[in-house]
Amino acid sequence: MAGHGRRIWPVQGDPLRHNPSRAATPRPTQPGFERFMWYFTRISGLLLVLLALGHMLIMHVLVQLTGQEINFAFVTSRWGSPFWRIYDLLLLVLALIHGVNGARIIIGDYVVRGGLRGLLIGLLMVMTLIWLLTGVFVIATFDPNGAPAAGPFS
């Protein structure tokens, strides 16, 4: 649409400092939080390709193909193994931080007003902390009652 010209985004000053958006910016060189999250997103993304897709393939495809059902007994035998507990903890922490950081970038892209942006990102951070602690608590404190491992994914 005419009128916009090339200026589709009000970048004022250094976009790396004043806007969390990574859209149309090259690999960051300036040290700091934004550069850390840029690398974190990509490295955690590589791990999540294996962790998240593996989790989805097991829970939503292989469980069904092997005629199992996800219930308390399934979780008990699964989390009886430290491997799957660590797997799920790693998946939870990486996926939540990766996803919430992405949501923060998107808020920064579309909410221009500094105050509203800060409020939304602040709410997101508070919510994330509560959800992260809940998720870690559930995985870490789940009591398997010494149930024997059973089934191919336990």
Helix, strand, coil distribution of the chain in percent, nearest 5: 65, 0, 35
Residue numbers 85-144 binding other proteins by CB under 8 A = 92, 95-96, 99-100, 102-103, 106, 109-110, 112-113, 127, 131, 134-135, 137-138, 141-142
- Per residue in 17-45, is it b (16+ CB within 10 Å) or e — as a string? eebbbbeeeeeeeeeeebeebbeebeebe
CA distance 123 to 143: 32
Confirm or reject binding of residue 61 to other proteins (CB under 8 A).
Answer: yes
The answer to whether 18 contacts other proteins (rule: CB under 8 A) is: no
Tell whether residue 42 is a contact of other proteins (CB under 8 A). yes
Output 70 or 86, the one with its CB closest to other proteins: 70
Query: Could you tell me the CA-to-CA distances from 18 to 22, 34, 39, 108, 116 in Å, in that order?
Result: 11, 11, 19, 10, 15
* Least Å from the CB of residue 17 to other proteins: 19
Of 64 and 119, nearer to other proteins (C-beta) is 64
From CA 118, how far away is CA 99, in angstroms rounded? 18
> Binding residues for other proteins, per CB under 8 A?
1, 4, 7-10, 27, 42, 45-46, 48-49, 52-53, 56, 60-61, 64-65, 70-73, 75, 92, 95-96, 99-100, 102-103, 106, 109-110, 112-113, 127, 131, 134-135, 137-138, 141-142
